[in-house]
């Protein structure tokens, strides 16, 4: 059958476009587009509050993190509601313990401060702030930041301050609205007391464009949650989203990848709407298990980011005492 030249050109053009699409998809998921950073630094976050929630001993779990797993890069929190439970009355006893134990082992700490800090519901602010005006609230917030900066600026474990956690994602109803000007004021408050340590800002890797946060501070951190759960869809994974997406996102904002971290690398389950303390390990292993953890580590390496802080150390320990030691043992021998 004879086809005129116009139809031939359209067919060739269609094949050409199809080939480019297929080639682009193959490239996005290839090792060439997603090379592994074999020199990535592994760290972990630790929450005393979550440790207690799981029914565990804070000192015991923390020593496992430091001495058994030998993590030397930690992400800790000086929660506002815990260090200033009454206005003007500060208690840093537990944070002192964590920082000093880290310093004894030459571990380096990212210390998180602000109205939003890691662990649900994230708006970890004192109850006494609820009747403050917005101006009074932010004045009190910045005063707490000053006190914390003054206390830890010379601590040998302190490596970096983190100001707020995913600052512009709304969680909870205790936090006051935050804009870029107020965020920069918080950063300036820390730097006015401690000009010698860098500040990191974090954002969601899946739910944000980073437009407000990417260049707000010295360093930038992105979360990486690859398996989530919600009432509408049940379990949902982001395995279709290649690591190069995160790297290109960072480069789009002119960020040096050496200054970009995975601030929270999911290494614990995202549970349906009941407590993780309900001992249904089979349900927990649907969204996090040894195979999934290995995929997470591989993914983090392929972002090209220089460091990744694993999220879930308390749960690994909880699994161990509940008869499942696979993750506990694997983490022990993970090169750090």
Which stretches of 154-274 are assigned E, i.e. beta strand? 158-163, 198-203, 219-224, 227-230, 234-237, 260-266
Contacts of 128 (CB under 8 A, 6+ apart): 86, 87
Question: Nearest 5°: CA angle at 76, between 75 and 80?
Answer: 140
Q: How many residues does the chain have?
A: 336
Structure tokens that stand for 197 in this block: 């340590």
pLDDT of residue 3: 55
Q: What is the pLDDT along the chain (336 residues), one digit of tens a residue?
A: 455 665 556 555 555 564 456 555 666 677 788 999 999 999 999 999 999 999 999 999 999 999 999 999 999 999 999 999 999 999 999 999 999 999 999 999 999 999 999 998 889 999 999 999 999 999 999 999 999 999 999 999 999 999 999 999 876 678 999 999 999 999 999 999 999 999 999 999 999 999 999 999 999 999 999 999 988 889 999 999 999 999 999 999 999 999 999 999 999 999 887 788 876 899 999 999 999 999 999 999 999 999 999 999 999 999 999 999 999 999 999 998
Q: What pTM value is reported for the model?
A: 0.93
115, 148 contact by CB (below 8 A):
no
Which ranges in the chain belong to alpha helices (H)?
Answer: 5-28, 48-53, 58-63, 80-83, 93-104, 134-152, 180-193, 243-252, 281-287, 290-302, 313-321, 326-332
Q: Is residue 203 helix, strand or coil?
A: strand
The ranges assigned to domains in the chain are 1-30, 40-332
**Is the Cα dihedral 293, 296, 302, 307 positive or negative?**
negative
pLDDT of residue 235: 94
Structure tokens that stand for 267 in this block: 């290494």
Q: Is residue 21 helix, strand or coil?
A: helix
125, 80 contact by CB (below 8 A):
yes
pLDDT of residue 121: 83
pLDDT of residue 173: 75
Q: Is 40-332 a domain of CATH 3.20.20.80?
A: yes
């Amino acid at each position: 059958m004879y086809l005129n030249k116009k139809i031939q050109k359209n067919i060739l053009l269609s094949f050409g476009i199809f080939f480019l699409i297929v080639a682009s998809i193959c490239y996005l998921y290839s090792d060439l587009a997603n090379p592994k950073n074999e020199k990535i630094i592994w760290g972990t976050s630790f929450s005393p509050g979550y440790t207690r929630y799981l029914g565990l001993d804070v000192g015991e779990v923390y020593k496992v993190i430091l001495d058994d797993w030998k993590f030397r890069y930690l992400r800790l929190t000086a929660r506002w509601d815990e260090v200033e439970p009454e206005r003007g009355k500060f208690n840093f006893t537990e944070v002192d313990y964590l920082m000093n134990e880290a310093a004894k082992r030459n571990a380096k700490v990212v210390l998180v401060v602000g109205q939003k800090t890691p662990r649900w519901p994230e708006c970890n602010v004192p109850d006494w702030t609820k009747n403050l005006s917005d101006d009074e609230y932010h004045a009190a917030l910045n005063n707490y930041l000053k006190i914390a900066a003054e206390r830890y600026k010379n601590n040998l474990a302190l490596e970096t301050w983190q100001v707020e956690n995913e600052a512009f994602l709304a969680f909870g109803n205790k936090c006051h609205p935050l804009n870029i000007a107020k965020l920069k004021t918080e950063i300036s408050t820390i730097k006015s007391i401690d000009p010698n340590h860098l500040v990191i800002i974090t954002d969601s890797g899946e739910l944000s464009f980073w437009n407000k946060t990417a260049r707000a501070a010295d360093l930038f951190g992105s979360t990486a949650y690859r398996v989530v759960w919600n009432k509408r869809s049940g379990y949902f994974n982001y395995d279709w989203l290649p690591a190069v997406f995160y790297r290109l996102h960072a480069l789009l904002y002119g960020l040096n990848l050496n200054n970009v971290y995975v601030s929270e690398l999911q290494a614990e389950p995202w549970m349906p709407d009941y407590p993780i303390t309900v001992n249904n390990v089979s349900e927990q292993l649907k969204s996090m298990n040894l195979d999934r953890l290995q995929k997470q580590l591989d993914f983090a390496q392929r972002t090209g980011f220089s460091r990744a802080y694993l999220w879930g150390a308390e749960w690994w320990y909880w699994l161990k005492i509940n008869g499942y030691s696979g993750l506990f043992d694997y983490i022990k021998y993970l090169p750090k």
